[in-house]
Structure 1
Amino acid sequence: MLLLDTNILIDYLRDKPQAIQFIHYTGKFNLGINTIVVLELYNGCLNRAEFAKIKRTLNGFIHFDLNESVAKAAIDISHTFALSHQLSVADTLIAATALVYDLELRTLNLRDFKMIPGLRVSNSLILP
């Protein structure tokens, strides 16, 4: 199971072929998102049409909720890396979700996550 970072879904919503092929080939039932990804997408909406498109797009993905374990993991990550790497709260919670649920994170921004120990992270959207 893979957890998607917001940037991959943004590319998908912008009809970028590599993101579309990756998500269609992998299948939404093998791909997860968390509450932070959903919030970031909705907060980026410019109009009702975009809001509706995002809502339709998110249907079918496995949803991983934020819980106490994710919050504790995020605090640990923040404590370790906030000063040295300027991690955003969103990226911290996305990484914590991947760690707690034992998911591989797919992102287009490896540098935001590669220093976190135990986090499996890749930027590959290449199909086998």
Structure 2
Amino acid sequence: MEESRLILCDTDVIIELYKNSTEIIEVLKQIGQSNIAISTITAGELLYGALNKKELSRIKQDINNLTLIAPDAKTSEIFLDLMTNYSLSHKLSLPDGLIAASAIANGLELYTLNKKDYRFIKGLVIFNPEK
């Protein structure tokens, strides 16, 4: 990537990184570690998915090496708007709603492998690794 900009990574991207997906590893290298951000919901989902204490410790260490985006009042307001607008019509899940709200509130592109979960959200910019 030419310029320095934070990219918010969805949980699925980080999970694929842990599975050693060469495609994801290459994209994240291009983004650069200092430009990779995750939301607190992603951090929580990763910790929740740990299979043992060793894995939990590794995930916690990895989280500490990334920029963590925590919800603030603006994120909360956007989150509630998203849930109001999309929970019935598009079945927007709570984690996806909070991740999308975090991206929108902070002006970040969202890198996700599940574009269908987000494509209907107005104001959300999906990161395109091909650019």
- Which TM-score applies when normalising by structure 1? 0.91
Q: Which runs of 5+ in 2 are unaligned?
A: 1-5
Q: Return the match for 1:115 from 103, 114, 120.
A: 120
Distance 1:16 1:53 in 2: 18
In structure 1, C-alpha distance between the alignment counterparts of 2:17 and 2:39, rounded to whole Å: 17
- 2: distance between equivalents of 1:53 and 1:21? 21
Paired position in structure 1 for 2:46: 41
- Match of 1:116, SS state, is coil
Report the residue type matching 2:56 in the other structure. Answer: F
**Once the two structures are aligned, what percentage of the paired residues are identical?**
33
Give the deviation of 1:125 after TM superposition: 4.1
Query: Per-residue displacement from partner, 1:19-61 (whole Å, max 9, x unpaired)?
Result: 1222223212111111000000001111112112212322321
Indicate how the Cα distance of structure 1 residues 6 and 118 shifts in structure 2: closer, same or farther if over 3 A, else same: same
Q: Which residue of 2 aligns with 1:52?
A: 57
CA–CA separation in structure 1 for the residues paired with 2:44 and 2:7: 19
Name the CA distance, whole Å, in 1 between partners of 2:32 and 2:60: 17
- TM-score, reference length from structure 2: 0.89
Size of the aligned set, in residue pairs, is 126
Structure 1: unaligned runs, 5 residues or longer: none
Query: RMSD of the TM alignment (CA)?
Result: 1.4
The equivalent residue for 1:72 is: 77
Selected match of 2:19 from 14, 18, 21: 14
| Partner SS for 2:38 | strand
